[in-house]
Amino acid sequence: MMQGTATNLTVGTTARVQFQLRRFGAGVTAAIRVLPPLFATGILQGQYQEGQCMMQGWMNEGFLLKMVGACSASGFSGQYQAESPGLVQQG
């Protein structure tokens, strides 16, 4: 499982993330766990291009997580935005 950090685009807080990342050509799927200040788990899907992952997916806690950043077999560093239907989350 790889480790990393992601900064919330809305409020500027940084969360630790843990990934199990699978690449298939230009596609990527990640089982993710986000740690404080936002606790969440889920599956993200998206694209991989030149060392960058652009992913999104519904988390088990009921909100949409969008992430973008540098990803490799050893880690992730990027940004995220968490959105509930009609509400941007503050975590």
The confidence score (pLDDT) of residue 57 equals 96
pTM: 0.84
What is the distance between the alpha carbons of residues 54 and 56, in angstroms, rounded to a whole number? 7
What is the token pair recorded at 80? 């995220």
Q: Which domain holds residue 72?
A: 2-88
Which residues are CB-neighbours of 70 under 8 A, at least 6 positions away? 51, 52, 53, 76, 77, 78
What is the distance between the alpha carbons of residues 37 and 27, in angstroms, rounded to a whole number? 28
Please answer whether residues 89 and 63 qualify as being in contact, where contact means their C-beta atoms are separated by less than 8 angstroms.
yes
What is the number of structural domains in the chain?
1
What is the distance between the alpha carbons of residues 73 and 59, in angstroms, rounded to a whole number? 22
The confidence score (pLDDT) of residue 50 equals 93
The confidence score (pLDDT) of residue 39 equals 82
Q: Spell out the per-residue pLDDT of the chain, length 91, in tens.
A: 889 999 988 888 899 999 898 989 899 999 999 887 778 899 999 999 999 999 999 999 888 999 999 998 788 999 999 888 765 555 5
